[in-house]
Amino acid sequence: MLTGYLGVIGKFIKMKITVILLVTGVISVFFKSDIQMDIVKESTIDSLGACQGVSIQHGKALLYGDREVGMIRQFSFDKDTLVYDHKECKLTIDGKNIINHPTGIAYHGDMPVFMGNSVKPPKGETAWKAFIYYINWNGLWKTGTLDGNLLKTIEDDACIQGTRPEYVKYHNKWYVATADYGNHGNEVRLYDPERLSHCSKTSEPGVLYKKFTCTPWVQNLYWLDDKGIIVLIQNQIEGRKWRFTYVDLEKSIQTGQQEVIKEVNVDARGDELEGFAFTGQADKGIAVTSSRKNNVNYMHIGW
């Protein structure tokens, strides 16, 4: 009887060790994987101005740009092609251009929705102006403008150059991450969304939660929740060439600097990459640029 009991225990231990090895193997393969990103189709979508980003929500693609006013257009997927849904929002109040240069949409479930606006300094000045807007998202799409739907305007004075909000999860809590565009002192910062929605400036106590340094020319951010990875959507040089930097958020916050899993340069294109999002499938994404032609690009991602 004792021999049978010991045999059962032995089988259990062996099974447990096997599971651990399998899990360890999966993690090891993933972090050593050679992530590849290739453009499989280029297309031109008009009426966006210079496209500044893409957000995938509920199976729809939202493209936003700086036309005659800041705006967002909604598209459906027809296999590998975007089809305009004839739904558009203008980021105006009383016809006045409010979010004239939209840079990022932080959207997650029923949490507060934030949009960024990065404003270049006037001639002769050096300081950028950056604002984060707390928006009634459902109201915006119902009326088509920010009239009555702009809940709060927050000056992002904790930034170094520009703002580009995106929700990320750290230790089972959601934060609004943002990053700088410039070539020195760049950071990724995590803001508490509840405090952010009630503050006037991001430098107010309790708004900034964590931060870490990062490389230059970050145009936008994308969060891969199932992998704990934040993707820095970047230019290789100012305003030119494509770069995607896959960063381990947990390790980066621990060390205070970006901990890179993989940096992917797409040298087939030399224009200004502005935004990127996975379509809902791990191997498919959409990259957008500020160019007038081929501003929407369908990509295959190999892990």
In b/e form, how buried is each residue of 73-84, taking b as 16+ CB within 10 angstroms? bbbebeeeebee
Mean pLDDT of the chain: 90
**Residue 224 structure tokens:** 């891969």
DSSP class of 12: H
Q: How far apart are CA 182 and CA 180, in angstroms?
A: 6
pLDDT tens column, 212-227: 999 999 999 999 999 9
Q: What is the CB-side half-sphere exposure of residue 13 using CA atoms within 13 A?
A: 6
pLDDT over 80 at 186, yes or no: yes
Q: In angstroms, rounded to a whole number, what is the distance separating the alpha carbons of residues 238 and 218? A: 10
What does the pLDDT read at residue 7? Answer: 53
How far the first Cα of the chain sits from its last, in Å, is: 50
pLDDT of residue 257: 98
Does pLDDT of 182 surpass 70?
yes
- Any idea where the domains of the chain sit in the sequence? 50-279
pLDDT tens digits for 142-166? 999 999 999 999 999 999 989 999 9
In a 13 Å sphere around the CA of 163, the CA atoms on its Cβ side amount to 30
What pLDDT does residue 80 have?
Answer: 85
Report helix, strand or coil for 145.
Answer: coil
Residues contacting residue 282 through CB under 8 Å, at least 6 positions apart: 301, 303
pLDDT of residue 11: 47
Residues of the chain with pLDDT > 70, as a percent, come to 89
pTM of the model: 0.88
Fold annotation for 50-279:
Neuraminidase (2.120.10)
pLDDT given at position 34: 85
Q: Which helix (H) or strand (E) holds 109?
A: none
